Structure 1
Amino acid sequence: MDDKELLKGIRQGREEAFKMLYERHYGVLCSVAQNYVGDSFMAESLVGDVIVRLWSDRQRVQIDRSLRMYLIRSVRNACLDYIKSQYHQREFAASEYIERSLHELYVGKSLPGSLLEKELENKIQEAVKAIPLESRRVFMMSRFHDMSYTEIAGELGISVNTVKYHIKQSLVIMRRELQEYTVEK
């Protein structure tokens, strides 16, 4: 059975076509995914999701060229989405940690009892000082004065996108300066 017949069988809901699709393409797709994500378990999971999605959307899926190329492209996109979500999760976790540490330091809820905490507080202060003045001002207004991006933009006479830019730059610097104190997941 060639890929056109296989696709026709899948559209008709024939389970033997689905099984053949799995047997014919699963290994190659896992190799593609493994090259992107570097984790065989996650690669298999992403490939499984792509194949199941093809099955559940079989009536609506438009495959103009080869089934294999469609599957490879779908796996590639799934891998890129996964990588992007992992990056955002790590970025969010690091930002949360930095914000929590900064908030405790500047609001005074932290009572440093150990040498490590004191060292971290000093490092955070140094990291904040490493932020360029305008970005630091925006960062402090956001993180320590609980002002929204819109409020900051209005007070400083800049756009909300400029505020976002300054916050992002500040977090990049904070992350870089505090990298020895953060834990990668």
Structure 2
Amino acid sequence: MLGNNLKINNQPEIEAMFLKHYQEWCLLSYSYIENMSEVEDMVQDVFVKILRRKPKNEILDLKNYISTAVKNNSLKRIKRNRKLEKLENSNVISSPSYEEYLIETETKIKVQKAMEVLPEQSKKVFQLCVLDGEKYQNAADSLGISINTVKFHLKKSFKILRLALRNTYA
């Protein structure tokens, strides 16, 4: 049986520890990652790092040390995978095709033309609340009208725009 204190350059004991507890560490990592091939690679990477590490100091409890390293590497891998997913999703969103760009531009032009039909006060309320994202109270205060009047103008604007754009999104 292996002792608690182990010099880092004691390769035969590290290999024996690897063989004895490999499945246990794979299951530990699997509880985080849930992809067995990725888990096996990650556990093996932990051992490679330990074997390549320069003997600076002793590891007091190798089994616990490796378990913690496996857990931490699993969590790091989850974090990295999430970042990669976000990057992939943002690349898909931020790089529309030329066709999508043309459709979006054409749609914006149609909405702008439809907004020209709106009465002046309704257009101001729509601009503030919908396009600029202002809260009803802020729009009411800046225009000197009540919140109910803001709601009325928004309702009126949406009704007019729905009629003007009914064939746009069919």
Asked if residue 81 in structure 1 is aligned to residue 104 in structure 2, the reply is no
Separation (CA, whole Å) in 1 of partners of 2:58 and 2:10: 18
TM-score between both structures, scaled by the size of structure 1: 0.50
CA contact (8 A) 2:29 2:39 kept: yes
**Of 90, 93, 98, the match for 1:98:** 93
Q: Taking CA–CA contacts closer than 8 Å with sequence separation of 6 or more, which of the two structures ends up with the larger relative contact order? A: 2
How far residue 24 of structure 1 moved from its aligned partner, in angstroms, is: 1.9
Report what 1:4 is aligned to: 4
Q: How many Å apart are 1:63 and its aligned residue?
A: 2.8
Work out the number of aligned pairs and report it. Answer: 110
1:49 & 1:61 partners in 2: Cα distance?
20
Residue by residue over 1:122-167, the C-alpha shift from the partner in whole angstroms, topping out at 9 and shown as x without a partner, is: 7xxxxxxxx9846xxxxxxxxxxxxxxxxxxxxxxxxxxxxxxxxx
Q: Percent identity?
A: 22
For residues 24 and 93 of structure 2, what CA distance do their matches in structure 1 show?
41
**2: CA distance, partners of 1:133 / 1:61:** 60
Q: Name the residue aligned to 1:40.
A: 36
The alpha-carbon distance between structure 1 residues 49 and 61, as it changes in their structure 2 partners (threshold 3 A), is farther
Conserved in 1, the CA contact under 8 Å of 2:25 and 2:43? yes
Q: Which runs of 5+ in 1 are unaligned?
A: 123-130, 135-185
Unmatched 5+ stretches in structure 2: 108-129, 134-170
Larger Rg: 2
Give the structure-2-normalised TM-score: 0.54
Residue 29 of structure 1: aligned partner:
25
Q: How many Å apart are 1:15 and its aligned residue? A: 3.7
Structure 1 residues 61 and 78: alpha-carbon distance in aligned structure 2, compared to 1, 3 A threshold = farther
Cα distance in 2 for residues equivalent to 1:71 and 1:41: 19
Deviations 1:46-87, CA, capped at 9 Å, x for gaps: 1000111111115135534x2221111100111111111110
- Helix, strand or coil for the counterpart of 1:3? coil
Residue 49 in structure 1 maps to residue 38 in structure 2: no
Q: RMSD in angstroms over aligned alpha carbons? A: 3.0
Counterpart selection for 1:67 from 54, 62, 66: 62
Against the structure 1 CA distance between its residues 132 and 88, is the aligned structure 2 distance closer, same or farther, given a 3 Å change threshold? farther
